[in-house]
């Protein structure tokens, strides 16, 4: 069986970020750099509460756009909190830095799914999300087939209006073991970090999804920079600015306040209340002195130049990719303290907010072209499109959206939880939705789809047709799991075009990543992609909706009679489910499972619904009228004596193994609606009817 994606309608069944299938149609390509399309998610730190909010920016905007609220550290440990930085990687994972406790937390993203209870029953107030998902990077840490995660402000809600899950105290050293919310994955405090005074302010992601974090203590001039693995959450010390280590004495604090990683992999970091810019190219530390400017905030333009804004003077300095100062401006309109900074790649303009409630727009030559009174101290801004700018309204407990063509506010979402107004105080530093990652860090986008092979397979091929111009790349990756929710814990593996690969599972996630170099408008193109499942597991049966899609049997011989196992399945009724070779099997009659007994495990199921079956490592989940899959070991043994003349087996069940000895046995009817797993016949057998609506697995 295979599936191909080649038309716009087919590509639209997947999930895409910053790739287009409409201009032209029936192919995938990056949007132009001037029309970057980030994920529809904002990650906003609630600094005073030690939590972070995820907001869906898909219209229409309402309070229910808050899709999750998550803790930034374990309860009972007050030093984990005061988040002030978020940075979203290419694939939607969010990294948060805590300015108290020196810790960094990574969160996964789930879009779609159905709210349910622990038994998979749909429930709008349920603690869980069940698949299928539109998109998911959250890991099912407890392996129950569900994601236990916050409802945010989705209606209906209980308590104070936000669904916030517990996080019992633990040592932060990688994958969390106690956080109830499965959106929380990594939680790390770099070795040697002061648990009380250490601050993590600089948080930025690179093109491969690793996180750069800088830690320092107030009064200590040295800044320690760590690189945290996006795969394991393990931090590795990279460098610091201690004069004893660098051999250079720098005046004032050096870097660590905030910054970005550019498309060349160079790390840039600002130095609040000090006149320096830190630039690290991966091989050497380069500290650039910038006169008369404490570099509080920064962004990067279309050409890869870095723009730094002075907190105390409002002066703008521009550095080229090599770190040389190429311009500086002192705008008269920069009243108060500059707060948020963002670059608009569509019209190549710089945008700055101030403590006096202004929103200012500048050309790339420093000329003021927009000056709006917005009435908010926006501390952290980001573009969601060419005209829509989101900002954190510090002191007003909400986030706001503005149209930069008019300066008008056109949306607002309150973060007030109904208990403590200070808890909602939002404060961020720019890469709240991954726009910086898509434009500055990686020049990229991706398309992803999950293929359901319906049964377990062991080998596959993925093939595609592409065009990859100079200065671009197109990468196809895959991972395979038994369940959809089980995909996220697995690493992606590079796929070879048309190459056969071995992997056991039912679900395959295919991810195609598109990249271009900085300053280029070229794009790779994907014309089509096909997956083929080449080797089904022998004997597997699968059911989709209300009918049996396929059944693999095997031929057997008893005496001189050759039999071909068959199953008689009607549309709304599963008469039998069989797997030859004495492996998993079950029986279903009409709309009711009368009973199933496996060793000490007993399941008694009422009409129309299988609540759940568990036996050893085998499990199954069935909802309402659809059997998704059933795996239970062999259960019943029946033996026959020489005096028996006829044997009818189980009326609606299973017989196996069966020994049919002696000349006295004349008729064997097997299981009327089930399976015979193993049978042997004696010389006296005259008639062997097998399973009336089932399977003969072994002669």
* Domains in the chain: boundaries: 2-35+447-533
Q: What is the pLDDT of residue 215?
A: 79
Q: How far apart are the first and last CA of the chain?
A: 30
Query: Residue 437 is encoded by which pair of tokens?
Result: 């990652």
Q: Which of 71, 147, 70, 161 minimizes the C-alpha distance to 112?
A: 147
C-alpha distance from residue 58 to each of 32, 149, 151, 385, 407 (Å): 21, 20, 17, 12, 20
CA Rg value for the chain: 31
pLDDT, one tens digit per residue, over 204-263 is 999 999 999 987 766 666 678 889 999 888 888 887 776 555 545 555 567 888 899 998
Buried b (16+ CB within 10 A) or exposed e, 211-231: bbbbbbbeeebbbbbbbbbbe
Which residue stretches of the chain have pLDDT < 70?
77-80, 155-161, 191-197, 217-222, 242-253, 283-285, 287, 289, 291-292, 418-424, 535-699
Burial of residue 316 (CB within 10 Å: 0-12, 13-18, 19+) is buried
How many whole angstroms separate alpha carbon 424 and alpha carbon 650?
64
**What 3 state SS string does 25-76 have?**
EEEEEECCHHHCCCCCEEEEEEHHHCEEEEEECCCCCCHHHEEEEEECCCCC
Q: What is the pLDDT of residue 647?
A: 52
Residue found under tokens 């201009």: 23
Per DSSP, the three-state class of 421 is helix
The three-point CA angle 261-377-338 to 5° equals: 50
Fold (CATH) for 2-35+447-533: Jelly Rolls (2.60.120)
Strands (E), 242-330: 259-261, 267-270, 276-280, 285-289, 295-300, 306-310, 316-319, 325-329
Query: Residue 610 is encoded by which pair of tokens?
Result: 């299988």
Would strands 658-660 and 679-681 be described as parallel, antiparallel, or unpaired? parallel
Q: Taking a C-beta distance cutoff of 8 angstroms, is the pair 651, 672 a contact?
A: yes
Query: Residue 341 is encoded by which pair of tokens?
Result: 């900074």
Phi then psi for 505, rounded to 5 degrees?
Answer: 165, 180
Q: What is the pLDDT of residue 184?
A: 95
């Amino acid at each position: 069986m295979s599936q191909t994606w080649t038309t716009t309608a087919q590509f639209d069944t997947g999930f895409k970020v910053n790739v287009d299938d409409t201009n032209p149609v029936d192919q995938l390509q990056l949007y132009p750099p001037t029309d970057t399309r980030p994920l529809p998610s904002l990650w906003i730190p609630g600094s005073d509460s030690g939590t972070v909010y995820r907001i869906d920016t898909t219209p229409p905007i309402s309070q229910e756009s808050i899709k999750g609220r998550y803790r930034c550290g374990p309860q009972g440990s007050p030093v984990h909190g005061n988040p002030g930085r978020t940075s979203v990687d290419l694939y939607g994972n969010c990294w948060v830095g805590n300015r108290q406790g020196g810790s960094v937390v990574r969160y996964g993203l789930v879009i779609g799914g159905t709210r349910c209870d622990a038994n998979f029953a749909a429930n709008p107030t349920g603690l869980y999300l069940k698949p299928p998902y539109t998109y998911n990077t959250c890991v099912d840490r407890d392996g129950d087939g569900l994601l236990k995660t916050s409802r945010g402000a989705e209606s209906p809600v209980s308590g104070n209006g936000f669904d916030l899950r517990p996080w019992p105290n633990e040592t932060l050293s990688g994958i969390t073991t106690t956080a109830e919310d499965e959106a929380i994955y990594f939680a790390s405090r770099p070795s040697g970090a002061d648990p009380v005074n250490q601050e993590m302010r600089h948080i930025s992601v690179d093109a491969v999804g690793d996180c750069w974090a800088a830690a320092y203590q107030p009064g200590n001039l040295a800044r320690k920079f760590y690189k945290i693995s996006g795969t394991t959450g393990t931090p590795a010390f990279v460098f610091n600015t201690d004069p004893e280590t660098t051999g250079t004495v720098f005046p004032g604090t050096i870097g660590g306040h905030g910054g970005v990683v550019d498309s060349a992999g160079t790390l840039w970091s600002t130095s609040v209340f000090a006149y320096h810019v830190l630039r690290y190219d991966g091989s050497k530390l380069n500290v650039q002195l910038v006169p008369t400017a404490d570099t509080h905030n920064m962004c990067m333009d279309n050409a890869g130049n870095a723009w730094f804004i002075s907190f105390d003077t409002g002066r703008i300095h521009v550095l080229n990719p090599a770190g040389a100062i190429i311009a500086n401006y002192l705008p008269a309109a920069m009243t108060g303290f500059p707060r948020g900074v963002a670059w608009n790649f569509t019209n190549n303009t710089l945008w700055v907010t101030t403590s006096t409630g202004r929103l200012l727009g500048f050309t790339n030559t420093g000329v003021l072209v927009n000056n709006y009174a917005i009435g908010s101290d926006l501390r952290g801004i980001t573009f969601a499109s060419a005209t829509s700018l989101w900002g954190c309204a510090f002191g007003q407990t909400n986030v706001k959206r503005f149209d930069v063509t008019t300066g008008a506010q056109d949306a607002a979402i309150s973060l007030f939880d109904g208990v403590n107004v200070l808890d909602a105080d939002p404060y961020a530093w720019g890469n709240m939705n991954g726009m910086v990652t898509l434009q500055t860090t990686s020049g990229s986008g991706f398309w992803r789809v999950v293929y359901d092979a319906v049964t377990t397979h062991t080998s596959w091929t993925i093939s595609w047709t592409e065009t990859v111009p100079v200065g671009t790349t197109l990468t196809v990756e895959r991972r395979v799991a038994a369940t959809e929710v089980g995909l996220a814990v697995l690493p992606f593996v590079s796929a070879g075009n048309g190459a056969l690969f071995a992997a056991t599972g039912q679900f395959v996630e295919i991810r195609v990543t598109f990249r271009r170099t900085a300053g280029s408008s070229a794009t790779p193109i994907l014309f089509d992609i096909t997956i083929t499942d080449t080797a089904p597991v022998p004997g597997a049966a699968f059911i989709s909706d209300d009918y049996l899609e396929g059944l693999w049997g095997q031929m057997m011989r008893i005496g001189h009679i050759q039999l071909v196992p068959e199953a008689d399945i009607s549309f709304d009724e599963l008469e039998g489910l069989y797997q030859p070779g004495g492996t998993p099997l079950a029986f279903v009659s009409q709309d009711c499972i009368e009973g199933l007994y496996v060793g000490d495990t007993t399941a008694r199921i009422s009409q129309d619904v299988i609540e759940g079956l568990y036996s050893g490592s085998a499990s199954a989940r069935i909802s309402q009228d659809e059997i998704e899959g059933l795996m239970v070991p062999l259960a019943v043994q029946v033996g026959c004596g020489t005096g028996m003349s006829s044997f009818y087996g189980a009326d609606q069940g299973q017989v196996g193994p069966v020994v049919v000895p002696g000349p006295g046995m004349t008729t064997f009817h097997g299981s009327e609606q089930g399976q015979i797993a193993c049978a042997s016949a004696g010389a006296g057998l005259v008639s062997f009817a097998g399973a009336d609506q089932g399977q003969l697995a072994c002669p």
